[in-house]
Amino acid sequence: MMKFIFFLIFLIPLSFLNLFWLFQVLLFLISGLFLMMFSFNNQFINISYLFGLDLLSYCLVLLSFWVCALMVLASEKIYLKNSFYKLFMLVMIILLISLVLTFSSLNLFIFYLFFEISLIPTLMLIIGWGYQPERVEAGMYLLFYTLLVSLPMMMSIFYFYSNFYSLEFTLSILLNYEINNFLVFFVMIFIFLVKFPMFFVHLWLPKAHVEAPVSGSMILAGIMLKLGGYGLIRVIPLFMKLNISINWFFIVISMVGGFIVSLICIRQSDMKSLIAYSSVAHMGMVLGGLMTLNYWGMWGALVMMLAHGLCSSALFCLANISYERVHSRSVYLNKGLINVLPSLTLWWFLFSSCNMAAPPSMNLLGEILLMNSLVSYSMYMMIFLGLMSFFSAVYSLYLFAYTQHGSISLNLYSYSMGYLREYLLLMLHYLPLNMLFMKSELFVLWI
């Protein structure tokens, strides 16, 4: 594990040189090298000092490498306009290091430390390279929502250490530690619920997404939301008795909230805002699946997190490609794009259908597993699952039909056709999203 961390640390000096594309090639290289480290053993692998990987960590670290490499590919405009692209590379590599260390840490405090550190580069991306003056407000929302709940979690970690004299994840599971204090349970998981984000604490996400540059949106949708799911999976075993009595509350909020957010999606006029709200609905389903505490839910949550990371990131790329040509994110102004960019319309269709869990995408596999998990918990979940599935199709088709069909609303004749770089970017999102389902049995190994 240390060799990858050192690889990333030695990329920091490279960010001060005029080597933007070499930087991206090296990120793809480290993704390939990391892919070769895959182990069919369901125990922790690559253990070195405080770091190691099980299959859950492995998948999310690989997703981090892949999405960060694609972020550079999507951010050519920063390089061409010379808008502090060296600083951009530095911020991005620090963000990647903090994410890799978060997902691979075996110690609860080290996990918490890098979990919080990853907030700072994200904030810099939004405030530094965002599009509008409102980005400062969006950054403040992101910062204060997270900071408000992070200090109580640190207190709960100290409580954990004072009772069990260890902060190791693996040791706590092996020795079957159990905490029955409701307050400790609440403050420890609340930070993950904000990061998910759970309905009621989700307002920071649409604001942050709308004001972020394309790279910021990709990392927020692709990786940052997964930190919440990863953290929950790690700490839930410590509170099993409490979970069994309280979890219905979180499941109800995530299901009802997912339905309400799906309705909110349908009345969005901003493409990025619509995609951001759809993330809240999908991650609500993941939260519900995790809180059922069964194997289907855990397996479904992992598959859905990976699928959503790739699909949502690709939709933000598509929205940015349209924005760079039309200079507006409004679905009312981005009309009739099928007339001028027909090749891009195919990609809009493919990713919109993935977003509503059409086969053969991993989203479908994830939703089937989560539906099994939630219906086995309570038959009443079928109502909200049915409504969420239906409305996810509605807002995905609304996004596709409004942007691609109709007469062109703006008299713009200076459309450039899609660049090869953009089609490569979309293809590199699409292939893993739709090919991984063929090896879906791998995801059950870690349970």
In a domain, 439, yes or no: yes
C-alpha distances in Å from residue 374, one per residue of 204, 348, 386: 27, 30, 12
For residue 226, pLDDT over 80 is answered with: yes
Position 267 scores a pLDDT of 92
What's 236's DSSP letter? G
Helix or strand (DSSP H, E) at 406: none
- Whether 406 has a pLDDT exceeding 90, the answer reads no
Whether residue 29 is predicted with pLDDT greater than 90 in this model: the reply is yes
**Cβ proximity of 74 and 67 under 8 Å:** no
3-state secondary structure 301-358: HHHHHHHHHHHHHHHHHHHHHHHHHHCCCECCCCCCHHHHCHHHHHHHHHHHHHHCCC
Residue 435: Cβ within 10 Å count: 11
**51-53 and 45-48 beta bridge pairing:** antiparallel
Answer yes or no: is 17 within a domain.
no
Q: Above 90 in pLDDT, residue 334?
A: no
* Phi, psi dihedrals of residue 347, rounded to the nearest 5°: -70, -40
14 within some domain: no
**Looking at beta carbons, which pairs linking 41-46 to residues 24 or more positions away fall under 8 Å?**
42/445, 42/446, 42/447, 44/106, 44/170, 46/1, 46/104
**pLDDT digit string (tens) for 152-191?**
999 999 998 988 888 888 777 767 778 888 899 999 999 9
pLDDT in tens, 45-77: 777 888 888 889 999 999 999 999 999 999 998
Counting the structural domains of the chain, the total is 1
Q: What is d(CA 320, CA 318) in angstroms, rounded to the nearest whole number? A: 5
Residue-level pLDDT at 359: 87
- Please provide the size of the chain in residues: 447
Residue 21 lies in a domain: no
Mean pLDDT for the stretch of residues 84-99: 94
Helix 135-164 to helix 182-195 angle (10° resolution) is 150
Cβ neighbors of 251 (< 8 A, separation 6 or more) are: 288, 291, 292, 374, 377, 378, 381
- Whether 19 is covered by a domain: the verdict is no
> Which pairs with CB-CB distance under 8 Å and at least 24 residues apart come from 40-46?
40/442, 40/445, 42/445, 42/446, 42/447, 44/106, 44/170, 46/1, 46/104
- pLDDT tens digits, one per residue of 256-294: 999 999 999 999 999 999 999 999 999 999 999 999 999
What are the pLDDT digits (tens) for 343-381? 899 999 999 999 999 988 999 999 999 999 999 999 999
| Statement: residue 322 has pLDDT above 80 | yes
Confidence of residue 440 (pLDDT cuts 50, 70, 90): confident
Amino acid 169: pLDDT = 80
Residue 374 lies in a domain: yes
Confidence of residue 240 (pLDDT cuts 50, 70, 90): confident
Q: Domain span at residue 269?
A: 26-444
Buried b (16+ CB within 10 A) or exposed e, 153-167: bbebbebbeeebeeb
pLDDT recorded at residue 445: 67
For residues 400 and 352, the answer to whether their CB atoms sit within 8 Å is yes
Taken in order 259, 262, 268, 270, the sign of the CA dihedral is positive
Instruction: Please compute the mean of the pLDDT values over residues 310-322 and round it to a whole number.
Output: 95
Q: What angle do CA 331, 396, 284 make, to 5 degrees?
A: 115
The more confident residue out of 239 and 40 is: 239
Q: Are 362 and 303 in contact (CB under 8 A)?
A: yes
Q: What is the pLDDT of residue 94?
A: 95
Residue 92 pLDDT: 94
Contact 255, 384 (CB under 8 A): yes
User: What value does the mean pLDDT take over residues 191-202?
Assistant: 92
Tens digits of per-residue pLDDT, 410-432?
A: 665 555 678 899 999 999 999 99
- Chain segment 138-151, per-residue pLDDT in tens: 999 999 998 899 99
- What is the widest separation between alpha-carbon atoms in the chain? 68
- Residue 386 has a CB neighbour count (10 Å cut-off) of 12
**Interatomic CA distance for residues 84 and 71, integer angstroms:** 16
Q: Is the pLDDT of residue 446 over 70?
A: no
How far the first Cα of the chain sits from its last, in Å, is 22
Compute the average pLDDT of residues 235-257: 91
Interval 71-95 mean pLDDT: 91
Tell me whether residue 8 is in a domain.
no
In a domain, 261, yes or no: yes
215: pLDDT strictly greater than 90: yes
Tell me what percent of the chain is helix, strand and coil, each rounded to the nearest 5: 75, 5, 20
| pLDDT number for residue 409 | 67
pLDDT score, position 178? 80
Q: State the chain's mean pLDDT as an integer.
A: 90
Q: Does residue 24 have a pLDDT over 80? A: yes
